């Protein structure tokens, strides 16, 4: 299998010819690029970005207002949580780095970055508080969780890549070393997740901010540590960051995969014993699909070939297609038990966003044309059902009955999943369409 760098340097139809794939299939990537780049650009530039740029920048208190009902109206109370505050810093930084009005969106990223540093950072103990009030002065949830710290590292690293400020990189390096000192598990690997404000471990059995008992390790948290470490390593080139990135690649490609099932589960004891009790024997199709392309990107950053992982990628995607894919109506369902059809048949905005990125990555790496109809199917669902062309942004959920529901913005929903999906797909398809 050719490396991705080779794929990036040669037009995909040319590569297909090298693989002996038919001329009909060889024309597919260029057709996909020509057809979908304008539509992806439209969603990004007229639906997602204006909503967040116009509504979210809190010029009074700093940071971002991310609390809007289904009609895009401000919803009280307004609080600010590290995950979505950081995701908005990431979004505006990534827009700037992708060439979308860089000065405008770097200023928007700087606006949020300052709030992270001045209001959400624990100057006494280090690390980010989980949630603060609208002003940032009242610490509503002062404990530390690695899920939130991961998004802090991700955002700061992306902001450095977009703007090139040394002070930003220095802050990212400071956070990386803090997390390594306080939470990296040098015995069993990965990261301990839930801590008091002073970085002492949360009491065993206490429910963490992620809803799981403190002391457990989550596939979900480590997935976002993987993406954060990928971006941080690209920013810093620190040897220790690459070492941690390789460890996270191993965890997300091996440890969290239930080998006899062909899918991942989320909950683990500290020694990585899988927890399948208490309803934890559940597959999240969106996380498995997201895991595929984040692993691909992590391997690229670390300089590791993706070829040894392709069988795993196919296996995870095939499981999601078999049990979680709605081929008739479009999109992927939410969750299901092992080897059975999806039980939660709602369709979340973030799952659809990750599905279109992952399906294009699967095609780019495997050259198997079966993934292109998946992309087209899910994109049509996004375009016709998920995008709110009247209010702006995407509906949070399409119910099993086909009804749009949920807030446009909340402490868990900002412009990260869908904004990122548009940018990633546009950049990939533009490569495919190059002569």
Dist. CA 257–CA 237, nearest whole Å: 29
Instruction: Check residue 18 and give its pLDDT.
Output: 41
The reported pLDDT for the residue numbered 28 is 87
What gap in Å lies between CA 46 and CA 50, rounded to an integer? Answer: 6
Q: Which domains does the chain have, with CATH numbers?
A: 1-56+281-435 (1.50.10.10)
Q: Which residues contact 130 (CB under 8 A, 6 or more apart)?
A: 81, 82, 140, 141, 142, 143, 144, 145, 148, 209
Residue 22 has pLDDT above 70, yes or no: no
Statement: residue 148 has pLDDT above 50: yes
Token couple for 231: 């971006």
Confidence class for position 204, pLDDT limits 50, 70, 90: confident
CA dist., res. 27 & res. 44, Å (int): 26
pLDDT value, residue 20: 43
Collect all residues with Cβ–Cβ distance below 8 Å to 68 and sequence separation of at least 6: 55, 74, 75, 393, 407, 408, 409, 410
Question: What pLDDT is stored for residue 205 in this prediction?
Answer: 80
Average pLDDT, the chain: 94
Q: What is the pLDDT of residue 435?
A: 66
Residue 25 has pLDDT above 80, yes or no: no
Q: Average pLDDT, stretch 189-218?
A: 95
Is the pLDDT assigned to residue 231 strictly greater than 50? yes
Q: Which of 12-26, 243-257, 326-340 has the lowest mean pLDDT?
A: 12-26
């Amino acid at each position: 299998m050719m490396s991705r760098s080779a794929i990036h340097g040669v037009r995909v139809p040319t590569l297909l010819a090298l693989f002996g794939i038919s001329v009909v299939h060889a024309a597919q990537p260029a057709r996909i690029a020509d057809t979908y780049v304008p539509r992806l650009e439209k969603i990004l530039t007229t639906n997602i970005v204006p909503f967040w740029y116009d509504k979210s920048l809190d010029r009074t208190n700093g940071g971002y207002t991310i609390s809007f009902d289904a009609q895009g109206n401000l919803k009280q109370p307004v609080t600010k949580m590290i995950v979505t505050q950081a995701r908005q810093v990431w979004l505006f930084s990534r827009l700037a780095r992708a060439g979308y009005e860089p000065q405008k969106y770097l200023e928007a990223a700087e606006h949020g970055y300052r709030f992270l540093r001045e209001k959400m950072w624990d100057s006494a103990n280090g690390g980010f508080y989980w949630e603060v009030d609208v002003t940032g002065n009242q610490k509503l949830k002062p404990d530390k969780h690695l899920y939130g710290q991961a998004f802090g590292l991700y955002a700061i690293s992306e902001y450095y890549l977009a703007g090139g400020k040394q002070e930003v990189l220095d802050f990212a390096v400071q956070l990386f070393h803090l997390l390594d000192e306080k939470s990296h598990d040098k015995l069993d690997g990965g990261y301990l997740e839930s801590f008091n404000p002073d970085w002492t471990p949360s009491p065993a059995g206490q429910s963490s901010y992620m809803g799981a008992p403190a002391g457990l390790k989550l596939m979900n948290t480590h997935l976002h540590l993987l993406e954060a470490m990928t971006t941080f390593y690209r920013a810093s080139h620190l040897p220790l960051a690459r070492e941690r990135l390789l460890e996270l690649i191993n965890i997300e490609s091996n440890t969290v995969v239930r080998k006899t099932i062909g899918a991942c589960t989320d909950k683990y004891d500290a020694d990585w014993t899988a927890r399948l009790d208490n309803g934890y024997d559940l597959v999240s199709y969106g996380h498995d699909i997201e895991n595929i392309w984040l692993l691909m990107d992590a391997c690229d950053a670390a300089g590791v070939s993706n070829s040894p992982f392709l069988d795993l990628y196919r296996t995870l995607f095939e499981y999601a297609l078999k049990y979680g894919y709605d081929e008739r109506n479009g999109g992927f369902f939410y969750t299901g038990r092992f080897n059975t059809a999806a039980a939660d048949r709602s369709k979340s905005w973030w799952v659809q966003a990750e599905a279109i990125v992952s399906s294009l990555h699967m095609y780019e790496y495997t050259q198997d044309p079966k993934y292109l109809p998946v992309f087209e199917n899910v994109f049509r669902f996004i375009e016709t059902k998920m995008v709110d062309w009247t209010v702006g942004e995407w509906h949070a959920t399409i119910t099993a009955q086909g009804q749009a529901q949920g807030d446009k913005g909340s402490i868990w929903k900002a412009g990260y999943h869908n904004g990122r999906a548009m940018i990633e797909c546009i950049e990939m398809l533009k490569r495919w369409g190059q002569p």
